Homo-oligomer: A and B are copies of this chain.
Amino acid sequence: MARSTDVLTLGILGMLAEQPLHGYQIRKRLGTDFGPFRALSFGSLYPALKRMVADGLIETVGEDSAEHVGATASRRSRIAYGLTDAGRARFEEELASAGAHAYDDDSFDLRFALFGKTDEATRLRILEGRRLRLSERLEELTATHRRQRERFDAYTAELQRHGLERVEREVEWLDQLIENERSANRGDDDTSASAGNN
């Protein structure tokens, strides 16, 4: 259990869940849409696509109905991929999960970018898990900061202070998001299960 699809695979699944794309397009969009893929290289992307085909998650699709997003829609030597049923199933399965791995920096950003396709309960679990993770980090940082303050010169101390502040802001951001989710939830006619604790 908990196969825990890696970030790149999940990112590609997320891209292709909306529409078939070919590798070059996937790369461009991953770079702009999702957090952790600012400059993904082809040396990572193409092998990943190949592997996903082998795993039966995606397949090549004919480009007759492909929506030409950018400029020309003439036929080129390009290979568009779309999700298979297995790929769609895997994507749904992953969307519904919220294990500890989802709280890592990269993974969280991606999961958050996919919130539009994620159900509300999972959104909340992810946000709260992430918040917990960060507040633990915060505590660690505060502890070592306090414990060893005297050893640091002014610059090192400032670096630490700034790092701390960054994480604090992140936690505040999460608090805001969690609050929004909750109030949106209260606003809805709730068929949802107990939104009680935590």
How many chain copies does the complex carry?
2
Query: How far, in whole Å, are A116 and B152 apart by their CA atoms in the complex?
Result: 10
A37 sits at the interface (CB 8 A): no
Chain B residues whose C-beta falls within 8 Å of the C-beta of A150 in the assembled complex:
197
CB pair B35 A116 closer than 8 Å: no
Nearest-Cβ distance from residue A127 to partner chain B, whole angstroms: 11
Interface hits, A133-155 → B, CB 8 Å: 144, 148, 150-155
CB neighbours (8 Å) of A109 from chain B are 159
Evaluate whether A32 and B148 lie within 8 angstroms (CB atoms) in the complex, with A153-B195, A153-B197 already known.
yes
Please tell me which one of the listed residues B112, B152, B173 contacts residue A155 in the complex, with CB atoms under 8 A apart: B112
Check if A33 is an interface residue, CB within 8 A of chain B.
yes
- Contact assessment for B116 and A153 in the assembled complex, using a CB-CB cutoff below 8 Å: yes
Interface 0/1 of A186-198, CB less than 8 Å to B: 0000000011011
Q: Mark A110-132, 1 if CB is under 8 A from B, else 0.
A: 00111110000000000000000
Whether the Cβ atoms of A155 and B198 lie closer than 8 Å is: no
User: A169 an interface residue at 8 Å Cβ cutoff?
Assistant: yes
Q: Answer whether residue A182 sits at the interface, using C-beta atoms and an 8 A cutoff.
A: no
A-B contact pairs, 11 of them (CB 8 A): A33-B151, A112-B159, A113-B159, A116-B153, A116-B155, A116-B156, A153-B195, A153-B197, A158-B177, A166-B166, A166-B169
